[in-house]
Chains A and B, each alone.
Chain A
Amino acid sequence: MRSHLLVLLLLAVLALLPQVAGQYHLTLMIPFFAYGIALLGFNLLFGYTGLLSFGHALFVGIGAYAAAAITSKLGLRSFELILVASAVGAFLVAIPVGLLSVRYTKIFFGMLTLAFGMLFHSFLFKFYDITGGDGGMRVLRPSLLGMDLSTLDKTAFLTGPFYYYCLVLLGFAGLAMWRMVNSPFGLHLKAIRENPRKAEYLGVRVRLYRLFAFLISAMYCAMGGAILAVSTGLADPELAYWTHSGNLVFMVVLGGFANFLGPIVGAFSFIFLQDQLMSLTQYWRFFLGATLALIVILFPRGLMGLLQDLGGRFRAAEAPAPQRISHELGTERVNP
């Protein structure tokens, strides 16, 4: 109950933010929404099913290029159409990629997804006539819910209608994911993560469920990619490069993959940390890398894990609490 209230409060704060925050920070919120949605999906695969993909930038790229192709090649502007097209596109690509990848786990799964991601990247990079090569493709201003917003200037569009649109989208994506992870489907996935063989004995169709998780994560990533491309106005091959996949994992671990809200917290902290570092120094990659090293070594449960520990200590100080049962995922995986 308390967590429901907290989430509602957070949504209310986000909804009121345009009234108080400056334009600059509001434009940063769009990539946050984009990565928030993408990572919710990514974490279904990583945090809940236990499969670490190093190639999900592929699907972010599909979303971005779908937005580019629809707006600048087909001349259609509806953002709803873009979202549907990116989800369908990602779904169709994810079927063969997923079918082949989920036969493996661990490092082999990671490497196979990395290879698929790089395959897509070199396709984008080399087939200049179709994809614009390293210059990428332009993404034109979409219309939202049939409203033509091309008269607004870019900042007004991003901080106004598009902000609320993405916020609502994140809300629905989060709600859908929450329902999924708490359904029997989500329990199946967790069982697979904890012990695939035991899950199989109990009648769970391990590969099929892994594939489902893969498909859903791909669609979430593609929708995030579409938002990302609209905010920058460009779909370029870097979006599908393997280091971008690495950044996705970075964000999830930063927030804490063992927590439902971890990916969202991770996306938010990453975007604003990166922005701060970039304004302070041109060597921001170094400090970003150092942050990642620090998180991995000292706080493997991420920011949410840290918060929970602090909260736990606070509550423990109030009253001698009963043994806290770790309902969180992944802690066992951290220290096997």
Chain B
Amino acid sequence: MTSVIDILLGGLFHAAVLFLVAAGLQLVFGVQKIVNLACGSFYALGAYFGISCVNWALALGLPPSLFLPVLIGSGILMATVAPPIEALLRTVYRRDESFQLLLTFSLVLMTQDVLRIVWGPTPQHLGTLSMTYGKVAVGSVTIPTYNLLVILASIAIAALLGFFLQRTRFGRILRATAENRDMSAALGVNVKWVYASVFTLGTMLGTVGGALVVPTSAASLDMAVELVVEAFAVVVIGGLGSMRGALAGAVIVGLMRAAAVTVYPELEMLAIYLIVIAVLIARPAGLFGKAAI
């Protein structure tokens, strides 16, 4: 029983972070029809920048218990890299998708070195800072309160995102643009602006996700390319372009990984790719996708 709760909580924590990145990927794909390989790079940027911000804040005398708001703030701030990148992507919106994919791949290569230039090749971490919030007991296991907070934060963001997309005026404009770009433009929607804000929002989800993960694990140069494949797995399982899909996919991948690590470590990622392949073969649109192929 203990191990089951362990797996559940560990998996949900991982799923919470994965959901944020995958939601960013989905948003950008849904509206701009671009599969953004660089979503993992934004995640890494958020992680590194989050560490720096927290260290600055602590050096300036901030009480350690306030590090969580600093992390979220740094993630939001990091999203300012998005508009210039969106301007770059704008050149290929009307091109074949292989070019779009390659352009985001070039971003992956470039960001990896930007991280190396700014933060150096050695992994960075925040030490035991996440323990400032103490631990809580869930049944017979204790977990850091921080992990629980991240899970709750992710749920809150998911709810907010859902409200924003379904109930607000901008959400409706956004969905209309996703449905039919030219028709929205004809009806007076400023598509350029919608694209720029969607891309910024998508990036922000990634950078906040990265910032939230660093108190529990180190930020390394490889984290970007490693996360991309997991985020891909999430969106494929959930269905490309679907927010509910991102949520379901993240929970499945997070739990699967946690279970595999405990039960049979060799299977860790292998299990996830097997699910991805199974889903793509049995139901290529994913669990919640509607895209007909």
Contact = CB atoms under 8 A, between A and B. Distances in A.
Contact of A108 (B102, B107, B284): B284
B173 to A, nearest CB: 25
Contacts of B273: 115-116, 118-119, 122
B281 interface: yes
A122 B268 contact: yes
Contacts of A150: none
A123 B293 contact: no
Given A126-B266, A333-B96, A119 B114 contact: no
A107 B37 CA distance: 12
B110 A289 contact: yes
B277 A289 contact: no
Interface stretch (A159-167, A224-232, A245-253, A317-325): A245-253
B270 A104 contact: no
A297 interface: yes
A255 interface: no
A16 interface: no
Interface string A165-196: 00000000000000000000000000000000
Contacts of A114: 229, 232
Given A118-B229, A297-B92, A333-B96, A286 B113 contact: yes
B102 A292 contact: yes
B280 interface: yes
Contacts of A91: none
Q: Which of B229, B233, B236 has the most CB of A within 10 A?
A: B229
Contacts of A286: 109-110, 112-114, 117
Most buried by A among B109, B114, B284: B109
B112 A296 contact: no
Contact of B106 (A107, A122, A292): A292
B136 interface: no
B135 to A, nearest CB: 31
A252 to B, nearest CB: 10
B98 interface: yes
Given A52-B98, A249-B105, A122 B269 contact: yes
B280 A111 contact: yes
A283 B113 CA distance: 6
Contacts of B92: 296-297
Nearest to A281: B113
B219 interface: no
Contacts of A300: 95, 99
Contacts of B265: 126
B80 to A, nearest CB: 20
Contact of B97 (A107, A284, A292): A107
B280 A112 contact: yes
Contacts of A52: 97-98, 101
Contacts of A122: 268-270, 273
B91 interface: yes
Given A115-B276, A123-B270, A290 B98 contact: no
A212 B117 CA distance: 45
Given A126-B268, A249-B105, A108 B293 contact: yes
Given A106-B97, A118-B273, A288-B109, A293 B232 contact: no
B102 A250 contact: yes
Nearest to B285: A108
B274 A119 contact: yes
Contact of B277 (A112, A241, A292): A112
Contact of B270 (A126, A242, A285): A126
B189 to A, nearest CB: 23
A289 B232 contact: no
A110 B37 CA distance: 12
Contacts of B37: 246
A119 B277 contact: yes
B101 A54 contact: yes
A294 B92 CA distance: 12
Interface string B200-233: 0000000000000000000000000100110011
Contacts of B112: 285-286
B116 interface: yes
A308 interface: no
B108 interface: yes
B39 to A, nearest CB: 14
Interface in B237-255: 240
Contacts of A293: 88, 103, 106-107, 110
B281 A100 contact: yes
A126 B97 CA distance: 33
A23 interface: no
B232 A285 contact: no
Given A116-B277, A122-B273, A242-B229, A289 B99 contact: no
Contact of B117 (A54, A246, A283, A335): A283
A243 B98 CA distance: 15
A313 B251 CA distance: 57
Nearest to A115: B276
B52 to A, nearest CB: 19
Given A286-B113, A289-B109, 6 more contacts: A104-B293, A282-B116, A296-B102, A297-B88, A333-B96, A335-B95
20 contacts: A52-B98, A100-B280, A107-B97, A110-B35, A112-B280, A115-B276, A115-B280, A116-B277, A122-B270, A242-B229, A282-B116, A283-B117, A285-B112, A286-B109, A286-B114, A286-B117, A292-B105, A293-B103, A297-B91, A335-B95
- Identify the 6 closest CB pairs spanning chains A and B, nearest first: A289-B109, A286-B113, A289-B110, A292-B106, A119-B273, A122-B269
